[in-house]
Amino acid sequence: MSTTTRNRVAVLHGVNFDILERRDAALYGGRPLSELEHQIKAWAHEAGLEPLFFQTNHEGEFVEYLHRSCDLADGVLINAGAWTHYSRAIADALDVAGLPAVEVHLSDVEAREDWRSVSVFDGLVVEKISGKGVEGYREALGVLARELGVVA
């Protein structure tokens, strides 16, 4: 009998994450996305997960990646940036993907402008983690590892 490990996690970043180091350091840490992904990769491996990274500033490309995600990955870690607050198209695509997903935000979206408290992913994600900076990603990976039954 063969067993298949379900440990592939699509780590998706949305609009404006390609210039993360140029955004407000007090909110987003001042580090480039490449460094953030490097850190996420190390934590993912510690948790027994295999990360696949994707970033785009184009909503349609984000949607199309989600369409493919059920073939590429077993779980989703999503920080869609500002799209989080209004893109029903991305929410619908995440729903269709049918994978366990965790939503992450570097900043504390609940403590900022009212419109940032709204998330189109409500009810679609296992958990929403915000305001914990980079550490939030480690927590999210732990949640996904548990969801996927991955034991490191």
| Binding residues for ligand DQA (CB under 6 A) | 16, 79, 81-82, 84, 105-107, 109, 116
Q: How far apart are CA 28 and CA 13, in angstroms?
A: 13
Our answer to whether residue 105 is catalytic in this structure is: yes
- What is the nearest approach in angstroms of ligand DQA to the Cβ of residue 94? 15
From the list 28, 45, 65, 85, the catalytic residue is 28
Q: At closest approach, how far in Å is the CB of 137 from ligand DQA?
A: 10
Q: Would you call 58 a catalytic residue per the annotation?
A: no
Please, which residues have CB within 8 angstroms of residue 110's CB and are 6 or more apart in sequence? 116, 117, 130, 131
Q: How far is the CB of 28 from ligand DQA (least distance, A)?
A: 6
- For tokens 């490449």, the residue is 34
Nearer to ligand DQA by Cβ, of 29 and 48: the residue is 29
* CB neighbours of residue 96 within 10 Å: 13
Strand 50-55 relative to strand 8-13: parallel, antiparallel, unpaired? parallel
- Which residues are annotated as catalytic? 28, 105
